[in-house]
Structure 1
């Protein structure tokens, strides 16, 4: 079983801001890292989730209170939902290079 990275699919709309399309910059950061190292990205199961809540797939795994993305669900259980901690886990668990300080 692989670690699973859940990120928001880009180009979503927020009813609070009519007529505008958005992306999550934390998720876009993850997309950039994945695209930069595709051979390492293959070690993960990456799922792009629609923006509106409830995000059923995530809520069913982590609970209604844990739907913020990005989130890395660990194969042995548990999860990481802080962008910097996710990047550290990608380095430690999957061999991605370190982010430059």
Structure 2
């Protein structure tokens, strides 16, 4: 089993902001890192899911309280839901370069 990175599919609408289309900038950051290092991307499973809640794929894995994205679900159990901690895990666990300070 591989670590699994869950991201929001870009181009979603939020009923609180009628007529606008959005992307999650934390997820877009992850997408950019993945695209920049496609050979390393192969070490992960990536799921892009829809914006509306409940996000049942996450609810089934992590529980209803943990639906924020991005989230990295670790192969051995547990998860990371902070963008900086996810980037650090991609470096430590999968050989991605370090983000420049």
Report how far residue 18 of structure 1 moved. 0.3
Correspondence 1:1-101 to 2 at 5 A: 1-101=1-101
- State how far apart, in whole Å, the 1-side matches of 2:2 and 2:62 are: 17
- State how far apart, in whole Å, the 2-side matches of 1:68 and 1:49 are: 11
- State how far apart, in whole Å, the 2-side matches of 1:59 and 1:30 are: 21
Report how far residue 32 of structure 1 moved. 0.1
- State how far apart, in whole Å, the 2-side matches of 1:59 and 1:92 are: 27
Structure 1-normalised TM-score?
1.00
The runs of 5 or more residues in structure 1 that have no matched partner are none
Report how far residue 34 of structure 1 moved. 0.2
- State how far apart, in whole Å, the 2-side matches of 1:38 and 1:2 are: 16
- State how far apart, in whole Å, the 2-side matches of 1:42 and 1:18 are: 37
